[in-house]
Amino acid sequence: QVQLVESGGGLVQPGGSLRLSCAASRFTFSLYNMGWYRQAPGKERELVAAITRGGNTNYADSVKGRFTISRDNAKNSVYLQMNSLKPEDTAVYYCSAELGGRVTWGQGTQVTVSS
């Protein structure tokens, strides 16, 4: 059974940085496409960034140039480096693993950007 555990969320001031980590277990990590999504209160869950098993990346327009997704297959982990954070980045951030159209989610980690 696929298991994903996120960490690294917290409270940060506008303009600050955070690095989210997602540790994967109980599956062959290198075969999966990985992603980060977020959900703000009262809003739908949205894609933030994704990285394919081949290393190709894509980003939501709202985070391009500020966020970077990466993966380390040796550590079964995916990361999201978030710079120049804005209050509108406040949300619960979820890690996802996708293979053959089947998606598994982590439990989420809260990111709050506020002064």
For the chain, give the number of residues. 115
113 touches 16 (CB < 8 A): yes
Closest CA to 6 of 15, 14, 63, 18: 18
26 has pLDDT over 90: no
CA angle 36, 38, 42 (to 5 degrees): 165
- Confidence band (pLDDT; 50, 70, 90) for 69? very high
**Residue percentage of the chain with pLDDT more than 70:** 100
- pLDDT, tens digit, for every residue of 36-50? 999 999 999 999 999
Q: Looking at the predicted structure, is the pLDDT value of residue 5 above 90?
A: yes
Distance CA(44)–CA(40), nearest Å, equals 7
